[in-house]
Chain A
Amino acid sequence: QSVLTQPPSVSGAPGQRVTISCTGSSSNIGAGYDVHWYQQLPGTAPKLLIYGNSNRPSGVPDRFSGSKSGTSASLAITGLQAEDEADYYCQSYDSSLSGSMVFGGGTKLTVL
Chain B
Amino acid sequence: QVQLQESGPGLVKPSETLSLTCAVSGYSISSGYYWGWIRQPPGKGLEWIGSIYHSGSTYYNPSLKSRVTISVDTSKNQFSLKLSSVTAADTAVYYCARLSGSYVGWFDPWGQGTLVTVSS
**Chain A partners chain B:** yes
Give the segment of B13-21, B22-30, B70-78, B104-112 that binds chain A.
Answer: B104-112
Are B113 and A45 closer than 8 Å at their CB atoms? yes
Residues of A within 8 A of B107 (CB): 36, 38, 46, 48, 91
Q: Which residues of A from 32 to 85 have beta carbons under 8 Å from B?
A: 33-34, 36, 38, 44-48, 51-52, 57
Alpha-carbon gap, A91 to B48, bound state (A): 10
Residues of A within 8 A of B101 (CB): 34, 51-52
Are A2 and B106 closer than 8 Å at their CB atoms? no
Q: Do A98 and B106 form a contact, CB below 8 Å, given A45-B112, A46-B95, A106-B46?
A: no
Q: How far is the CB of A35 from chain B (nearest CB, A)?
A: 9
Are A2 and B45 closer than 8 Å at their CB atoms? yes
Q: How many pairs of residues, A versus B, come closer than 8 Å at their CB atoms?
A: 62
* Cβ contacts B24-38/A at 8 Å (1 or 0 each): 000000000000101
Are B45 and A47 closer than 8 Å at their CB atoms? no
Alpha-carbon gap, A16 to B101, bound state (A): 33
**Residues of B in contact with A, size category:** 20 to 34
Are B108 and A48 closer than 8 Å at their CB atoms? yes
Chain B CB within 10 A, most for which of A33, A38, A45, A52: A45
Which residues of B are at the interface with A, using a C-beta cutoff of 8 A? 36, 38, 45-48, 51, 59, 61-62, 95, 100-101, 104-113
Which residues of A are at the interface with B, using a C-beta cutoff of 8 A? 2, 33-34, 36, 38, 44-48, 51-52, 57, 89, 91, 93, 97-106
Known: A47-B110, A101-B36, A105-B45. 12 other contacts (CB 8 A): A34-B104, A46-B107, A51-B101, A52-B101, A99-B59, A100-B48, A100-B62, A102-B48, A103-B38, A103-B47, A106-B45, A106-B46
